Structure 1
């Protein structure tokens, strides 16, 4: 089959994935936080062994990802992930918190069970990148400033941001989260993790037919077909083997359908993160 025909087939498959299934963030959909701001947790779903959005992954060992947080609405329902990067700051995806009032978001730490006993923090400020979604899917990053300092312990630690330029093709990274295993499914209680492989920028764009939806501010990963990201784990951390933060979940074609998962590349936004934490809002 000629390359042109293959390209047409790939484009058709991609179009179906984005319009007929449900991508992590489809065009025209409400942002993740707005979509789930009034949902309540399903108290009848307490199966900690349930399969998580990290399809093909495994339950994370207690305190193995102490920087992981769950973002919850006022009813205590998980809707996104995030990572502790400072005594009062959590980094997440802008699509998780854009349009939300700070009183609608609670940051919960120190737990592998998002419905279990944990520390809860109020948010004093939501700081969304000023160029978020300009164009769509770009600059999908935000910081949450907490009302009080985070109380560190064995289950709660911050994480440093790595230099992405040191990543090499095929390098093993780890993603964690509580998202659903199926479209519209309930979130599992137990935190899940999945080992994935780093996919360089050019190869990632090629997998998405050179779409401008993938830009230099993104970092991509691959995994076996049937493994990967699904709803509920946008904003969650991607960590290298040295325990450094390299990405924050942004978008992709769920759930484990063979397309790369796309993250905000933290090294690309390192200056924005530092200046924002230090009180400057220049990008």
Structure 2
């Protein structure tokens, strides 16, 4: 391992300014094929660091803050599995990354425009375990799933894909539902916030339509749980930008 890569992994682990991981507390383990569009972004030498969603033959949607510190040649995309401890996993080399030019990092008020795209060198081998998800608008029901490869505690990294049911939050002192953001909290458990390390960039899926309506961006609880909701970037605010790159993305 090069000294530069070793330092990069260390910085990602300990530097709060480049903290790019989020987790799912109080979550259930996914079953095989339940979320075939969910992928893990994993260091070539090291652990996974973010979650993403397949939205085209060669494209993954994730959070911008997952992509602005790690060169594309230093990570790979893992698809078609719910368990990152398998000896043989379907990995895809990264060709390029695109960060939303409107992205602004703001942990206090919530990141703005926090979405990015990853293009792989070869097309995905689509199957029952690997397939794209459509993008859409959040329906009035407000019932959603947040999915990710997050930690189960600060000291315990989960190799298993997990999900949690969430509901829309209309009133919060730190997160205002608007045309750019969705605020959501867990329907179970004692705390509202459930996201932290490993889940950044993961999808927020409308349980009514099965479409991706948001991208995991920020947790005001800082991985400890708490009364405040988690923040997701709305897809309808960025559909034109996404489709300018991903020609086969479906938005309805």
Q: What TM-score do you get using the length of structure 1 for normalisation?
A: 0.73
Moved more, 219-228 or 101-110: 219-228
| Per-residue deviation, 1:276 | 2.2
User: What's 1:20 paired with?
Assistant: none
Contact 1:84 1:90 in 2 (8 A): yes
Aligned pairs (5 A) from 1:60-209: 60-116=30-86, 117-133=88-104, 137-164=111-138, 167-168=139-140, 171-183=142-154, 185-200=155-170, 203=171, 206-208=172-174
Alpha-carbon distance in structure 2 between the residues aligned to 1:150 and 1:120: 10
User: What's 1:36 paired with?
Assistant: none
| Per-residue deviation, 1:174 | 0.5
User: What's 2:180 paired with?
Assistant: 217
Alpha-carbon distance in structure 2 between the residues aligned to 1:231 and 1:265: 21
The alignment partner of 1:32 has SS state of coil
The alignment partner of 1:271 has SS state of helix
* Larger of the two Rg values belongs to structure: 1
Contact 1:31 1:96 in 2 (8 A): no
The alignment partner of 1:275 has SS state of helix
Give every structure 1 segment of 4 or more consecutive aligned residues whose post-TM-superposition deviation is greater than 3 Å.
none
Tell me whether 1:248 sits opposite 2:215 in the alignment.
yes
| Per-residue deviation, 1:145 | 0.8
Alpha-carbon distance in structure 2 between the residues aligned to 1:197 and 1:219: 10
What is the CA RMSD across the aligned residues, in angstroms? 2.4
Unaligned runs of 5+ in 2: 1-14, 248-252
Unaligned runs of 5+ in 1: 1-26, 34-51, 279-283
Alpha-carbon distance in structure 1 between the residues aligned to 2:228 and 2:51: 21
Whichever structure has more helix as a proportion of its residues is: 1
| Per-residue deviation, 1:171 | 2.2
Q: What TM-score do you get using the length of structure 2 for normalisation?
A: 0.81
Contact 1:31 1:97 in 2 (8 A): no
